[in-house]
Amino acid sequence: MLVLGIETSCDETAAAVLEDGDKLRSSIVASQVALHAEYGGVVPELASRRHLETILPVVEKALRDGGVTLGDLDGIAVTQGPGLVGSLLVGLSVAKAMAYSQRLPFVGINHLEGHIFAGFLQEPRPTYPFVALLVSGGHTALYHCPEPLYYRLLGRTRDDAAGEAFDKVAKLLGLGYPGGPIIERTAREGDPKAISFPVAQFSDGAADFSFSGLKTSVSLFVQKHRPLTPRLIADISASFQATVVKMLVRRTVRAALRERTRRILVSGGVAANRPLREALQVEAEDRGFEIFIPPPALCTDNAAMIATAGHARLLAGERADLTLNASADLKLAE
| CA-closest candidate to residue 237, choices 271, 283, 191 | 191
Can residue 81 be called a binding residue for ligand KG4 (CB under 6 A)? no
Can residue 13 be called a binding residue for Zn ion (CB under 5 A)? no
Q: Which residues is 332 bridged to in the sheet?
A: none
CB of 279: closest distance to ligand KG4 in angstroms?
A: 12
CB of 201: closest distance to Zn ion in angstroms?
A: 27
Cα 182 vs. chain centroid, distance in angstroms? 17
Q: Which region, judged by CB under 5 A, interacts with Zn ion, from 73-81, 87-95, 204-212, 299-307?
A: 299-307
Site string for ligand KG4, 211-230 (x = CB under 6 A): --------------------
Can residue 137 be called a binding residue for ligand KG4 (CB under 6 A)? yes
Site string for Zn ion, 132-161 (x = CB under 5 A): ----x-------------------------
Can residue 7 be called a binding residue for Zn ion (CB under 5 A)? no
Pick the closer one to ligand KG4 by CB: 105 or 179. 179
Pick from 301, 306, 309, 330: which binds Zn ion (CB under 5 A)?
Answer: 301
CB of 137: closest distance to ligand KG4 in angstroms?
A: 3
Q: Which region, judged by CB under 6 A, interacts with ligand KG4, from 19-27, 134-142, 146-154, 204-212?
A: 134-142
Pick from 190, 269, 294, 310: which binds ligand KG4 (CB under 6 A)?
Answer: 269
Site string for ligand KG4, 170-199 (x = CB under 6 A): --------xxxx--x---------------
Name the residues that contact ligand KG4, by CB under 6 A: 10, 136-138, 163-164, 166-167, 178-181, 184, 268-270, 272-273, 300-301
Name the residues that contact Zn ion, by CB under 5 A: 136, 301
